[in-house]
Amino acid sequence: MISEVNMTDRDGAKRTPEQPDTVSSRRDEWRTQKQKKTRQNDDMKSQDTRKHPAGLPFLFLTEMWERFGYYLIIGIFVLYMTDIDKGGLQFADMRADDIFGTFIAFTYLTPFIGGFLADKKLGYIKSIYIGGTLMGLGYLSLAVPDLPFFYAGICLIVIGNGLFNPRISTLLGNLYDDPQYKSNKDSGYNIFYMGINTGAFICNIFAAFMRNKFSWSAAFATAGVGMFLGLIIFTIGLKHYRSADVIKPKQENEMSPMEIMFKVFLPAIIAGILGWLIPGNIFGSDSTDAFLFAVIPVVGFLPLYILGRIFRKEKGSAYCWRCMW
């Protein structure tokens, strides 16, 4: 109990004793500050001992659900096109195989364009959102039993895959550039790729169950749900990898996006059209001919570009471009 007798300071001045409420409030404030400081120390200790960045679990789950959706539709794609009894498209085997092969080829080609846009224009996070949304809408389009929606869904998936697929792993690599985590980069990627394998494994169970229990549309819709679930998880963990979203600065003598479009992709488009229009089939089908013809300018550009850089150093840029073109 606090005495009510007046107390004096060291200099002899009188001061009024503190009231119980004031003492209690100060005690509570001191206790709160101590708890806050303890939490901060615990957070610092956990950061010092953490082997992997906090964003790894979120990127793991995002990639797992993206691969879940992609491999789900890959597993039933040809079966859906050739099915004649349970609501499939009733395509001939050759036509179905041709469409499937072209689809797979473009899913491996578009990341080249998507990676360039992500590195120089969009950034990794924005590319992941745009690509994931397009892929999710593409899966849902496949769920509509109508040919225009089928082909629209294929196009959306191809474009979305190009923007999404390589960006997650690049974002993860940027997180491991931190000196605190750099030594664990390999093990981090091992964990990350376990997510890919997990998604690719469980999708077959879901695909078979949804197709047999309900319909083809339900199976494709499940892929779409998985994709959007992955985007939700990615959004929840956004604060952990926002700082890793770095747009690469333009380097000296680097080609602009328009130069690449006109010197690489425009020739590829022209070559693809020529491959499609050639009478007969050189490689089995018009679409295969078109794709292989289109690949030639893209593949041929790389050695020419390297040679051009070598000659540029020795002879100058004017001589370089004469050699290339």
Domains in the chain: ranges and CATH: 56-244 (1.20.1250.20), 257-324 (no CATH)
CB-CB contact of 224 with 206 (8 Å) = no
Q: What was the pLDDT predicted at 254? A: 65
pLDDT of the chain along its 325 residues, tens only?
444 445 555 555 555 555 555 656 666 676 666 666 655 554 444 444 578 888 888 998 999 999 999 999 998 999 999 988 888 888 888 888 888 888 888 888 788 778 778 777 788 888 899 999 999 999 999 999 889 999 999 999 999 998 888 778 888 888 888 778 778 888 888 888 888 899 989 998 999 999 989 989 999 999 999 999 999 999 998 888 888 777 776 666 666 667 777 777 777 778 778 877 777 777 777 777 777 887 777 777 666 666 666 665 555 444 443 444 4
Q: How many CA atoms lie within 13 A of 308 on its CB side?
A: 17
What does the DSSP 8-state code read for residue 178?
A: S
Q: What was the pLDDT predicted at 98? A: 83
> What values do phi and psi take at 251, rounded to 5?
-95, 165
DSSP 3-state of 253:
coil
Whole-number Å distance between alpha carbons of 45 and 40: 9
Q: What was the pLDDT predicted at 277? A: 78
Q: What was the pLDDT predicted at 85? A: 82
Dihedral sign (CA 283, 287, 293, 299): negative
Q: What was the pLDDT predicted at 34? A: 61
Tokens 């503190």: give the residue: 18
pTM above 0.75, yes or no: no
Alpha carbon distances (Å) from 321 to 26, 40, 48, 281, 309: 77, 59, 52, 35, 9
How does DSSP assign 67-116, residue by residue? HHHHHHHHHHHHHHHH--SSS-----HHHHHHHHHHHHHHHHHHHHHHHH
Q: What was the pLDDT predicted at 317? A: 45
CA 152 to chain centre: 21
Whole-number Å distance between alpha carbons of 236 and 1: 52
